[in-house]
Structure 1
Amino acid sequence: MLYKTRGIVLHSIPYNDKYSIIYMYTESFGRVAYLVARTRGKKSNLSRALFMPLSVLEMEVDHKHNRDLHRVRETKSCFPINELSSHPVKNVLALFLSEVLFRVVKETEPDARLFDFLYQSVQLLELSDKGLANFHLVFLLRLLHYLGIFPNSESIAQNSYFDMLNGVFVPEIPMHKHYLDKPESDAFATLLRMSYENMAYYHFSRHDRTQIIQRILEYYRLHLPEFPEIKSLAVMHTLFD
């Protein structure tokens, strides 16, 4: 049966000589895998250029609920992503964030709040010209809300330790190794107040930013046991000197 839905590209892998599998997070069906031809004529509306990481597409799809692979019949961009494809920093950010999403967004049920967050985040990344060095930090921390593992910000207090295992700020060192010391905890509490609107006002050294992203990914790994190493992280570390 044919349906219309919007979708965000997460990942693409070759299927055979003629087709690729495009993993997308869709508004109507949650995470879906689509079989898309790798080569098409010039007049085709399924150009491979449409399926770059974090592309936001309006699609007509052939969706059968008893199948693992589905077909895209027609598609077009919801809005241009010229910056994501050509701007060197935004291009790497899109690659990194789409890889994270591919690893953490597994649900095959739709979530309107999550889709709206992703849609608006991609729009902001395309349009933003300030605070890009912090965009991925805001994105990863805001995403925790929709994964159900956002830290308990009500527990923030001076001279506390952030217990990463339990997602809470505590007055004493936890009885395990997964915690932040007091300076790190203070910095993390500050990060939790960062948003897309104020991210341009936060400044970190390259060393501090590298430590921050490592700690955030460690938090992901503690709460999402199947969360792997992110391959594009090494490229991220070369940015924002």
Structure 2
Amino acid sequence: MLYKTEGIVLSNAGYNDKYAITHLFTRDFGPVSYLLPKTRGRRSKINTALFTPLSILNMEVEHLPLRDIQRLKEVDRQTLLFEIGSNPVKVSLTLFLSEFLSKVLRETDNNEVLFDYLKQAIEVLERTKRGLANFHLTFLLGLTRFLGIYPNLENYTRGCYFDMLNGEFTYRSPTHQYLLNERESAYLHLLTRINFSNMHLFRLSRNDRNLIIDRLLTYYRLHLYDFQSIRSLEVLRELH
């Protein structure tokens, strides 16, 4: 059966001589894998050049519930993302985000809401001129709301700890190792106010930024099943 939906490209992988597999997060079906023709014939309606990481596409697809790999019928680019494909900093962020999303996106009950957040974030990344070094921190913290793992960041007081395993501030140091110390907890409290509109106002050193991303990824690892390491993380460590 044919459906019209929107999709965000996450990654591509080889399959056979004629097809690759493209992995997308769709507005109507969540994460889906599609057959992607490697060559474009005269009558083909699929332009493989559209399937670059984080591309936002309008699609007509064939979708059968019991089939692991679905089929594409027609695809058009929804938004032109020139900066994301040419600005070196944005290219680095795109590599990280596409790999990260490939590992964390699962079947959810609110695909449409999650899709809208991802789409908004990609559009922000395309047009943003300031605060790019804080973009991934803002994105990862915001994404926890849509994955159902947003921490309880109320009741912060100076000198408390953040218990990453239970996702809350505490006055006593937890007995396990997954905690933020007083200084790190203060940074987390500061980040509760960060968003895409004001992220350029947060003056963080490179070391602080790398510490925060490491702690955020640890939090994801604690709360999402089978969350694997991110190979492209190193490309972000040099951002100013």
Task: Give the TM interval when normalised to the shorter protein.
Answer: over 0.9
Distance 1:108 1:138, change over 3 A: closer
- The one-letter code matched in structure 2 to 1:228 is Q
Pairwise CA RMSD:
1.4
Pair 1:64 & 2:64 matched: yes
Measured in 1, the distance between the counterparts of 2:46 and 2:138 equals 32
Cα offset, 1:236, TM superposition: 1.5
Identity of aligned residues (%): 48
What SS does the aligned partner of 1:153 have? coil
1:86-114 Cα offsets, whole Å, 9 max, x none, are 11111111111111111011217652110
Gaps of 5+ in 2: none
Measured in 2, the distance between the counterparts of 1:76 and 1:140 equals 28
1:171-214 Cα offsets, whole Å, 9 max, x none, are 11111111011011001111121100110001111111111111
Measured in 1, the distance between the counterparts of 2:25 and 2:198 equals 27
Question: Is the 8 Å Cα contact of residues 31 and 109 (structure 1) preserved in structure 2?
Answer: no
1:86 — aligned with what?
Answer: 86
1:138-160 Cα offsets, whole Å, 9 max, x none, are 00000000111111012322211
So what's the TM-score if we normalise by structure 2?
A: 0.96
What SS does the aligned partner of 1:155 have? coil
Pair 1:128 & 2:98 matched: no
2:180 — aligned with what?
Answer: 180
2:228 — aligned with what?
Answer: 228
2:17 — aligned with what?
Answer: 17
1:154 — aligned with what?
Answer: 154
Measured in 1, the distance between the counterparts of 2:222 and 2:42 equals 47
What SS does the aligned partner of 1:99 have? helix
Task: Report how many residues are paired.
Answer: 240
So what's the TM-score if we normalise by structure 1?
A: 0.95
Question: Is the 8 Å Cα contact of residues 56 and 78 (structure 1) preserved in structure 2?
Answer: yes
2:37 — aligned with what?
Answer: 37
